[in-house]
Amino acid sequence: MRFTKMHGAGNDYVYVDCVNGPTPADPLAVSRAVSDRHFGIGSDGLILICKSDIADARMRMFNADGSEAEMCGNGLRCVAKYVYDHGIAREPRLAIETGRGVLTVDLEVKQDKVSRVRVDMGEPILEAAKIPTTLPGERVVDHPAPDEINRLWNSAEFLRHRAASAGLDLRMTCVSMGNPHVTLYAADVAKVPLELLGRVLEMAPVFPKRINVHFVQVHSPGEVTMRTWERGSGVTLACGTGACAVCVAGVLTGRTDRKLLAHLPGGDLELEWSEADNHVYMTGPATEVFSGDWPD
């Protein structure tokens, strides 16, 4: 199996060109194997670039645990780069079919290679039942933490101490960008016990399809730093749909503006929740690292 390793702001995936080559027979198993950072290629998951009857290409995305996800914003930017750089479609604006529908991407091309991509991520989904979450209310904005987190808090003194030192606000805001996200705020995200809280929140019963978890530190109305626990992959260096959800959550809670610069461990993303069409736009880098052959 021929593959290409790519990343968007450090959110790295193994990409397989299924337009010009065969599709893996068992992509779930392949994703688990290639994602292993000790015994595989090492990645946050597997992305297949496939033929589409309604767009320039179709993206299928699998997490490191083998579960198939609806969308990946950083992955989408890399798919667009691959489609252009490898000659599948050579237009400065492309349409990519995803689990959330067909999304439009605009390419920044330098020396005949794509360097950055602007993605129209569509409208955010704010209805609680469609995110989905069973938390009460039509929208989940600054909602108190679920019982699972409160029980964890009450049983672990060290966790309360770490959370207090981070200035963690346990209120949650939920947004879907075609996949589910929950955002919480902290005075110092570097001190948030991400591995523990991320795993617990991802699996909380109030999120029936699990959820991506983001902790955010607000520097100004136009600038934040965020850390991410991705559903099915764990701690990642960036999350494109998550950054979009953070942009929306900041507006809903009155913490940030509609235009936002998000600093992630792997790099920066530019976000805008447009008042004109209610769509969220994300701009960021896409990088090809290397190619090889996997003994499938």
pLDDT confidence of residue 158? 65
Over range 9-22, report the average pLDDT. 97
Cα separation of 228 and 236, whole Å? 6
Q: Is 194 helix (H, G, I), strand (E, B) or coil?
A: helix
Kindly give, in sequence order, each residue whose CB lies less than 8 Å from that of residue 172, ignoring residues fewer than 6 positions away. Answer: 135, 140, 142, 143, 144, 145, 182, 183, 184
Residue 151: per-residue pLDDT: 76
Q: How far is CA 220 from the centre of its chain?
A: 23
Strands 223-230, 11-17: parallel, antiparallel or unpaired by DSSP?
unpaired
Residue 29: closest CA among 4, 62, 51, 72 = 62
Is residue 135 scored above 90 in pLDDT?
Answer: yes
The overall average pLDDT reported for the chain is 95
Q: Could you give the residue numbers annotated as active site? A: 72, 239
For the chain, give the percent of residues with pLDDT over 70. 97
Distance CA 249, CA 246 (A): 5
Question: Does 160 score more than 80 pLDDT?
Answer: no
H helices present in 130-277, as ranges: 147-155, 157-166, 194-202, 240-252
Q: DSSP letters along 6-29, please? A: EEETTEEEEEEE-SSSPPPS-HHH
Q: How far apart are CA 285 and CA 213, in angstroms?
A: 22
Mean pLDDT of the 40-53 span: 98
Contacts of 127 (CB under 8 A, 6+ apart): 138, 139
Instruction: State how far the Cα of 16 lies from the Cα of 45, in Å rounded to an integer.
Output: 11
pLDDT of residue 180: 97
pLDDT at residue 275 greater than cutoff 70: yes
Element (H, E) at 31: helix 27-35
Whole-angstrom CA distances from 22 to 40, 62, 292 are 20, 17, 15
Residue 53 · residue 33 · CB < 8 Å? no
| Average pLDDT of span 148-160 | 70
pLDDT for 110 beyond 80: yes
> What is the pLDDT confidence band of residue 292, given thresholds at 50, 70 and 90?
very high
pLDDT in tens, 190-232: 999 899 889 989 999 999 999 999 999 999 999 999 999 999 9
pLDDT reported for residue 14? 98
**pLDDT tens digits along 226-274:** 999 999 999 999 999 999 999 999 999 999 999 999 999 999 999 999 9
List domains and CATH numbers for the chain: 2-120+284-293 (3.10.310.10), 128-278 (3.10.310.10)
pLDDT at 146 (0 to 100): 79
Q: Which residue from 244, 278, 249 is spatially nearest to 264, judged by alpha carbons?
A: 244
Residue 287 has a pLDDT of 97
Q: Cβ contacts of residue 207 below 8 Å, gap of 6+? A: 132, 133, 134, 180, 182, 201
Which pLDDT band holds residue 147 (cuts at 50, 70, 90)?
Answer: confident
Q: What phi, psi does 201 have (nearest 5°)?
A: -70, -40
Answer whether 252's CB lies under 8 Å from 264's CB. Answer: no
3-state SS track over 81-113: HHHHHCCCCCCCEEEEEECCEEEEEEEEEECCE
Q: Return the higher-pLDDT residue of 196 and 9.
A: 9
**Residues contacting 149, CB < 8 A, separation 6+:** 170, 197, 200, 201, 204
| pLDDT confidence band for 291 (50 / 70 / 90) | very high
Range 100-122 average pLDDT? 96
